[in-house]
Amino acid sequence: MHSTCFINPFSSNLIFPQKSKMALQWLILVVAIWLQSINGTNSNFPAYSSEFKRLLSLSQLQLNNLAFASDAGKLLGFISGVAASHLPLWLVLLIGSLLGLVGYGVQYLFLSDHIPSLSYGVVFLLTVLSGNSICWINTVCYMITISTFPFDRHVAVGLTTSYIGLSAEIYTDLVSVFFPSSPSSSSSPIKTAKAYLLLNSVSPLIVCVFCAPIVWCANNVVSRRLGGGFVVMFVITIGTGVFAVISSFGKIARGLPPFVVVIGMGVCLLAPLAVPWVENVMERFQKKCWLRRQGRIYDVGQVEGGGGEKAEEGRKEAEESGGGGSCEVVEEVRAEEVVQVEESDGGGGSCEAGVEEVGVKEMVKRVEFWLYFLVYLCGATLGLVYLNNLGQIAESRGFRRTSTLVSLSSSFGFFGRRMPSLLAYIFSRSKCMASTPASIAIIMAPMSASFFLLLNKTTLSLYISTAVIGLCTGAITSIAVSTTTELFGAKNFSVNHNIVIANIPIGSFVFGNAAALLYRSKINTEDGRCMGTECYQTTFVIWGFLCLFGSFLSIILYVRTKKMYAQKFGSTGHVDISIRSV
C-alpha cells in the first residue's frame, strides 16, 4: 500500500479528498506549470538593463558581465540535484526561492537606499546567486513531473517547462499594473528597475510557499498512464500562447488597460485547474476515471510470459469492484509492467530501450558531441545572448518601449518551447517527422535570416526579428533535451545535458563581450552611449553567419547520425515522435 499524506499539515486533502488521487496527479502538473511561470526571473533583465546601467554607472562590458553572471549561476546547478537526493523536495523548493530572495532582494534594498553602498563585485555575486536559484526550482519541477507522470514524462515535462518562456511577459505585465511610470519622469528609470527587482525577489517565494504542500504530496501519488487530459492541456496552452502574443504587440497592448492584460494572463494560468477539478467531479459522481487512456494495457506476456493476462484479469476485477479503486488497481499493475518492459532485453519494450547509454568520459570523445555542442552554441545560446542584449539594442535604435519587445520575445519563446511537444503528441503514432538534428538545422535557417534582417533600420524589422529569434531559441531549447537522450541515452542524461548546456555561460561571455567591445568602439554620445543602427551592425552580421555555421554543423550531425536513427528508431530513419516530446 502507498503511504498517504493526509495526516500532515502539507496535505492535498485541503483541495481534494483522499480518493481523488488522479485529480491530485493533475494538480501536481498544474503546480509545476505555476512554478515554471515565475521561475524565469533572469529573462526580464533586458526590460530594466538600461536603467540599471545608468543607476550603477556601468560600462557596456560590465553590464554584459552581469548577464553572464546569471548564466554562470547555472553552472552550479548540480548542487540543487545533490540537495534533491538528500532533502525533501518542498524544502529544496523553498531553498531555491530564498536564494532568489537574497540575490534580488539585496539589490532592491540598495536601489531603495536601505543599503548605503554595493560594489560591482557584490552585485556580480548576487546575480550569480539569483541565477542559481532558478536551478533549484527547475530541479523540483522536473522531479515531481517525471515521478508523477512516468508513462507520459516527455509530454508532461515539455508542457511544464514551456511556461518558463512566459515569465518575462508575466513580470512585465505586473510591473505595468502595480508600478506604472511615465517615460518623461526623472524617477522612471529607478522606479522600473526597483519594480522588477522587487517582483523577482518576492514572487517566486510567495508561489513556492503556496505550492509547497502539493509538492510534499508528490511522492504519494499512484502513477497512471493518461491521455485525454493532455489534449485539454494543449488546448489551454495554445490559448495562453495566443493571448500572450496578441497582448504583446504594441498597438494592441496600448489599447488594452494593463489590468485587463494581467487579469487575462491570470485566467490563462488558472485555466489548467479545470483538468483536476473535472477529474475530481467525475471520480466522485461517476465512479470512474475520465482522463485515463482507454482500452489499452501493455502486453507484458510477450516479454515475460503471462504478464499480459494477469494485467487484464486485474483490470476486469477492478472494473467489477467499482468505485475509485478501478483506476488504482489497473494503473498499479501498469507501473509494474513498465518496469518489466524496461528491464527486459526483448523487442517488446519502448524505442528508448535501443538507445546506447553513454557516460561523460565516452561522450566528450565523440565527434557527435562536439558537433552538437557547437550547434547549441550557435543556436539557442546565441539567441539567448541576443535577448540578453535586447534592452541595449532597442535603446541604440531609439526604441523606448523595451518592455514590449521583452514581452514579444517571451510570448514567441513560449510558443517555440511548446511546438515540439505539441507536434510530438499529434504525430506520436507515426514516423513522419525529421530527426532532431534535422529539425534544429531547419529551425536555425530563419533565425539566421532574422539577424540579417536587423540590419534594416525600421521598427517592423526589429519586431519581426525579435519574435522569430525568440520562437527559434525556445524551440531549439526544447528539442535539445530529447536530442541529448537520443544521442547519448537516458541513464546519464542529467550529467550529459548539463555538460551540453555549459556552453550557455561560455557563449554568453564570449558573444556578449564581443558585442560589448564592438558597441564601445562606436560610442557617439557624451554620456557614453551609442545611438544608431551602426552600433550593432557588425555584431548582427557576425551573429547571422555564426547561426548559418551552426545550421551547417547541424546538417553534418544529421548525416553522421542518420544511420544510427534508422537502426534505433525504425528503418525509415525518422524518429518515433513519442520518445522526443520534450
Q: How far apart are CA 369 and CA 202, in angstroms?
A: 39
Single-letter amino acid code for the residue at 116: P
210 shares a domain with 131: yes
Is the pLDDT higher at 324 or at 112? 112
495 shares a domain with 369: yes
Comparing 32-36, 243-247, 327-331, 350-354, which segment has the lowest mean pLDDT? 327-331
pLDDT tens-digit series, residues 505-534 = 899 999 999 998 998 888 877 777 888 888
**Closest by CA position to 356, among listed 56, 114, 569, 105:** 569
Q: How far apart are CA 121 and CA 125, in angstroms?
A: 6
* Residue owning grid cell 494592441: 252
**Closest by CA position to 426, among listed 208, 581, 547:** 581
3-state SS class at 4 = coil
Helix (H) or strand (E) holding 435: none
Q: How far apart are CA 207 and CA 220, in angstroms?
A: 21
- Dihedral sign (CA 70, 75, 81, 87): negative
Query: How much is the pTM?
Result: 0.76
pLDDT tens-digit series, residues 431-488 = 555 678 888 999 999 999 999 999 998 999 999 999 999 999 999 988 887 788 788 8
Report how far apart, in Å, the C-alpha atoms of 82 and of each of 124, 398, 578 are: 25, 46, 30
At residue 548, the pLDDT reads 96
* Residue owning grid cell 502486453: 299
pLDDT tens-digit series, residues 176-226 = 888 876 554 545 667 888 999 999 999 999 999 999 999 988 766 555 555
Query: How deeply is 390 buried, as exposed, middle or buried, from its count of CB atoms within 10 A (0-12, 13-18, 19+)?
Result: buried
- Tell me how many domains the chain contains: 3
Helix (H) or strand (E) holding 88: none
Residue pair 382/510 in contact by the 8 Å Cβ criterion: no
Within a domain: 486: yes
Within a domain: 3: no
**Most confident among 98-107, 139-148, 245-254 (mean pLDDT):** 98-107
- Please say which residue of 332, 349, 366 terminates a domain: 349
| Helical H segments across 38-77, by residue range | 45-55, 60-72
265 shares a domain with 380: no
465 shares a domain with 330: no
**19 band by pLDDT with thresholds 50, 70 and 90:** very low
Report how far apart, in Å, the C-alpha atoms of 4 and of each of 23, 184, 222, 453 are: 15, 58, 10, 57
At residue 406, the pLDDT reads 87
Q: How far apart are CA 363 and CA 560, in angstroms?
A: 15
Within a domain: 389: yes
Q: Quick one: the chain helix, strand, coil %, rounded to 5? A: 75, 0, 25
Within a domain: 415: yes
Strands annotated E in 217-313:
none
Query: 290 phi and psi, to 5 degrees?
Result: -75, -40
At residue 550, the pLDDT reads 95
474 shares a domain with 521: yes
Within a domain: 573: yes
Within a domain: 2: no
275 shares a domain with 366: no
321 shares a domain with 436: no
518 shares a domain with 494: yes
Cβ-based neighbour number of residue 515 at 10 Å = 26
Within a domain: 188: yes
Angle, nearest 10°, between helix axes 307-321 and 325-343?
A: 170
- Please say which residue of 259, 281, 303 terminates a domain: 281
Q: How far apart are CA 317 and CA 330, in angstroms?
A: 9
Question: What is the average pLDDT value for the chain, to the nearest integer?
Answer: 78
500 shares a domain with 388: yes
528 shares a domain with 379: yes
Structure-block grid coordinates of residue 389: 542584449
pLDDT tens-digit series, residues 247-282 = 877 556 666 788 888 999 999 999 999 998 888 887
Within a domain: 231: yes
pLDDT tens-digit series, residues 364-387 = 889 999 999 999 999 999 999 999
343 shares a domain with 359: no
406 shares a domain with 265: no
- Dihedral sign (CA 347, 350, 355, 359): negative
At residue 226, the pLDDT reads 59
Domain CATH code at residue 448? 1.20.1250.20
Q: How far apart are CA 223 and CA 236, in angstroms?
A: 23
Domain span holding position 83: 14-220+225-281
Report how far apart, in Å, the C-alpha atoms of 144 and of each of 91, 346, 420 are: 13, 30, 22
pLDDT tens-digit series, residues 302-317 = 333 444 444 444 444 4
